[in-house]
Amino acid sequence: MKIKEIISVLEEMAPLAYAEDFDNVGLLVGNQESEATGILVCHDALENIIDEAIAKNCNLVVCFHPILFSGLKKITGKNYVERSVIKAIKNDIAIYAVHTALDNHQEGVNKIFSDALGLVNTKILIPKENFIRKLVTYTIPENAEEVRNALFDAGAGTIGNYENCSFNSKGIGTYMGNENSNPQVGERFEFVQGDEIKIEVTFEKHLENKILKALFKSHAYEEVAYEIYDLQNKHQNIGLGMIGELKNPMKEKEFLLFAKEKMECGGIRHSNFTGKEIKKVAVLGGAGSFAIKNAIQAGADAYLTADLKYHQFYEAENQLLLADIGHFESERYTKNYIVEYLRKKILNFAVILSEENSNPVKYL
């Protein structure tokens, strides 16, 4: 199996188009045409992780955080990033990062976080905007089913828990071909008027090229009439953070102790207690200070995230319990999820969970 085949599976799990614009996801180091010997899954692709990959005969390291985030002007081994990259290249080890591509997935980082806390009735906290487009096309009734099915197979027409969604309306189409035309119906220079079906489907914007290829291949007309629109709708199943409910409400201190145990935290920093019971809980793995207001607006009783600064605790405004449980801790089960996913999709192949703890933060 080549590395590029494994990448295809990883992109099914966490499409790169879901990643934030600032992020650096995908294949960071290595040749995708190389034959894979094994996959080591980790949180951070540090130098000791590369050593582990060498020892376990894995030439593909799949990490959550990208070891290469900003540009490198020199690779001299002067810091941990450069040393990891140098060792990976010298030993023909590829590095692939998922990061916010998995953060934004409805089954990704924040669903894993929510599941660890036992939250139910979960939904995305900050749905992704400007991600949905609409295709409108027209064809003869005899061709409509073929076109629809081709568009569905290419990924169009999925809305939440429903697939094969479209809107179809009948109308009258007209055209007249010139001397270079080869019309499916009628002759050159003939004014044609006939029944047509208008087909409308929505799709995620990164699928546009695939959907247009399917449209052109399945359409009966020589010249395909179509329109594509950007929609203002938010994508309810893609985005950052998640909010859900505890099955049984808890007192604030009880809830923090519960979260500390479930997420295996070395410690939790939190805002003042509000005196309210905790029922509705918002979570965002990693640095999530930007979503404090979103958690408040969503009616959360508590918001768990990481990397909060001193003044950001004031932003709780006594409206919710704000807790910093640690960056690594908030994402700690992500690598387990990746391993389980790959083992289900790639049978009889070595997919290994790293034994190294890459958390740089230690607690007394």
Regarding whether 111 and 55 lie in a shared domain, the answer is no
Does 199 map to a domain? yes
Regarding whether 307 and 345 lie in a shared domain, the answer is no
Does 360 map to a domain? no
The reply to whether 327 sits in an annotated binding site is yes
Question: Which CATH number goes with the domain that contains 176?
Answer: 3.30.70.120
pLDDT in tens, the chain (364 residues): 999 999 999 999 999 999 999 999 999 999 999 999 999 999 999 999 999 999 999 999 999 999 999 888 899 999 999 999 999 999 999 999 999 999 999 999 999 999 999 999 999 999 999 999 999 999 999 999 999 999 999 999 998 889 999 999 999 999 999 999 988 788 899 998 999 999 999 999 999 999 999 999 999 998 999 999 999 999 999 999 999 999 999 999 999 999 999 999 999 999 999 999 999 999 999 999 999 999 999 999 999 999 999 999 999 999 999 999 999 999 999 999 999 999 999 999 999 999 999 999 999 9
276 token code pair: 């309210």
Regarding whether 140 and 67 lie in a shared domain, the answer is no
Residue 246 CA to residue 114 CA, distance in Å, equals 10
The reply to whether 222 sits in an annotated binding site is no
Does 215 map to a domain? yes
pLDDT of residue 257: 98
Regarding whether 165 and 138 lie in a shared domain, the answer is yes
- Give 137's strand partners: 199, 226
Out of 231, 266, 292, a domain closes at 231
pLDDT of residue 70: 84
Out of 231, 258, 276, a domain closes at 231
At which residue do the structure tokens 């790959």 appear? 342
Terminal Cα distance for the chain, rounded: 45
Regarding whether 123 and 135 lie in a shared domain, the answer is no
Does 146 map to a domain? yes
Residue 337 CA to residue 334 CA, distance in Å, equals 5
Does 364 map to a domain? no
Other C-beta atoms closer than 10 Å to the C-beta of 146 total: 14
Does 362 map to a domain? no
Does 359 map to a domain? no
Regarding whether 191 and 140 lie in a shared domain, the answer is yes
Q: Which of 147, 135, 144 is nearest to 173 (CA)?
A: 144
For helices 3-13 and 334-345, give the axis angle rounded to 10 degrees.
Answer: 120
Regarding whether 198 and 160 lie in a shared domain, the answer is yes
Question: Which CATH number goes with the domain that contains 280?
Answer: 3.40.1390.30
301 token code pair: 């009783």
Regarding whether 146 and 270 lie in a shared domain, the answer is no
Kindly report whether the global pTM for this prediction surpasses the value 0.85: yes
Regarding whether 119 and 253 lie in a shared domain, the answer is yes
What domain count does the chain have? Answer: 3
The reply to whether 99 sits in an annotated binding site is no
Regarding whether 178 and 117 lie in a shared domain, the answer is no
Domain hosting residue 54, numbered range: 3-99+333-353
Out of 231, 248, 282, a domain closes at 231
Regarding whether 91 and 34 lie in a shared domain, the answer is yes
Residue 356 CA to residue 42 CA, distance in Å, equals 8
pLDDT of residue 204: 95
The reply to whether 65 sits in an annotated binding site is yes
Regarding whether 141 and 91 lie in a shared domain, the answer is no
Does 363 map to a domain? no
